[in-house]
Amino acid sequence: MAARNQNGKWFAISIIGLVLVIVGTLWITIIFPALAQIPKGYERTYYSDGTFSVLNSDTHSMDSFPVEIALAQKANGTKDGAMLIHEKSTVVNSATGTDLSAYYGDESTLAIERKTLKFMPAVDERGRTGYWAPPMGLSPASSFAIYIDSVNEPLTATCVKSEELQGLKVLVFRVSASDVSLGTNPQNGLAMYSSTTVNLTIEPKTGTVVDQTAVATTSMDMGGNKVPVLVANVGWTDATVSDMVKVAKDGMGMLFWFQAVLPWLLIGLGIVLVLIGGTYLIRGKVTR
């Protein structure tokens, strides 16, 4: 009877070990990928500052003024498998306090695939394509096509350098394009073009953008010459950079514990229990 009880105990230990191995495997393949998606309650506001230079039609020179920009994003449900994110940008002349959003702001609803972070053009109201945000697991050799608003299309981001920001090891990816057609100006029918350079400072493991600067030039074709009519030179504020560094560090902690430690701890402990239980079951049979 005692031998049977012992065998039952070791059999139960083996079963527990097997369950732990299964749970650890499911965690890696199903549970963690679900946790790593855009949260359904996503909400964030990014603040930028810089300067706008606008062509003065009377003096034919560029008038420059400082601006503050707020880009607010908030999850707004789902549709056909896409997460909908309402996005609104407001622009204020920081010298005068004048709201310029009617001229330079924007508002739309994005349709994003939660796992891949890519736009779903069949659902997106503007048919946007490419990545909405950088993917996880980047390296200096990585590249990805991210949607850039100033040119209305995705552009390829490539790594240009690595550096350290507020104690965080980051990669700087650059996106650049020249004279991308924007169609024609609805008021005068002249062809419009955009040239842009965007620098994305990214924590590579999580794919979190921790800093961003951009220079975008909108030009108009006047008699065969591309004349700049708007130059926007902006970057995230120090406060937004600090906030995003914290987000990246929190994300790295989640990756460490929930992707690296927890599942492999479960699998390792499960294997040990299976081996212990199996060994004692075999020994029990031999002794009989």
Instruction: Please tell me the predicted confidence (pLDDT) of residue 195.
Output: 97
Instruction: Please tell me the predicted confidence (pLDDT) of residue 284.
Output: 60
| 116 has a pLDDT exceeding 90 | yes
Of 35-44, 107-116, 175-184, 241-250, least confident by mean pLDDT is 35-44
Pair 76, 210 in one domain: yes
Instruction: Output 246 or 31, whichever has higher pLDDT.
Output: 246
| 267 has a pLDDT exceeding 90 | no
Name the band, by pLDDT with cuts 50, 70 and 90, for residue 20: confident
**Alpha-carbon span 66 to 62, nearest angstrom:** 13
With a pLDDT cut of 70, the percent of the chain lying above it is 92
- Residues 235 and 215 sit within 8 Å (Cβ to Cβ): no
Pair 245, 272 in one domain: no
**Alpha-carbon span 3 to 119, nearest angstrom:** 62
> Mean pLDDT, to the nearest integer, of 79-90?
96
Pair 173, 153 in one domain: yes
**Alpha-carbon span 122 to 151, nearest angstrom:** 20
Name the band, by pLDDT with cuts 50, 70 and 90, for residue 32: low
Instruction: Please tell me the predicted confidence (pLDDT) of residue 15.
Output: 82
**Alpha-carbon span 287 to 207, nearest angstrom:** 57
Q: Which residues pair with 111 in a beta bridge?
A: 84
Q: Which residues pair with 23 in a beta bridge?
A: none
The sign of the CA dihedral 240, 244, 250, 253 is negative
Pair 58, 196 in one domain: yes
Name the band, by pLDDT with cuts 50, 70 and 90, for residue 273: confident
pLDDT tens digits along 137-176:
999 999 999 999 999 999 999 999 999 999 999 999 999 9
> Mean pLDDT, to the nearest integer, of 122-137?
96
Of 73-77, 174-178, 197-201, 281-285, least confident by mean pLDDT is 281-285
Instruction: Please tell me the predicted confidence (pLDDT) of residue 280.
Output: 67
Pair 168, 260 in one domain: no
Which H or E element spans position 195? Answer: strand 191-203
Pair 239, 222 in one domain: yes
- SS3 string, 51-119, reads EEEEECCCCCCEEEEEEEEEEEEEEEEEECCEEEEEEEEEEEECCCCCECHHHHCEEEEEEECCCCCEE
| 57 has a pLDDT exceeding 90 | no
- Three-class secondary structure of residue 222 per DSSP: strand
| 5 has a pLDDT exceeding 70 | no
- Residues 120 and 128 sit within 8 Å (Cβ to Cβ): no
Strands 106-112 and 153-165: unpaired
What average pLDDT is seen over the chain? Answer: 90
Pair 6, 116 in one domain: no
Pair 208, 116 in one domain: yes
Report how many domains make up the chain.
Answer: 2
Pair 236, 257 in one domain: no
Domain that holds residue 201: 33-251
> Mean pLDDT, to the nearest integer, of 107-115?
96
Pair 128, 263 in one domain: no
pLDDT tens digits along 67-82:
999 999 999 999 999 9
**Alpha-carbon span 266 to 247, nearest angstrom:** 27
pTM of the model: 0.85
Tokens of 117: 């972070």
Say which DSSP state 138 is in.
-
Instruction: Output 130 or 265, whichever has higher pLDDT.
Output: 130
User: CA distances (Å), 156 to each of 132, 160, 205, in order?
Assistant: 12, 12, 19
Pair 90, 15 in one domain: no
- Residues 264 and 258 sit within 8 Å (Cβ to Cβ): no
Pair 26, 117 in one domain: no
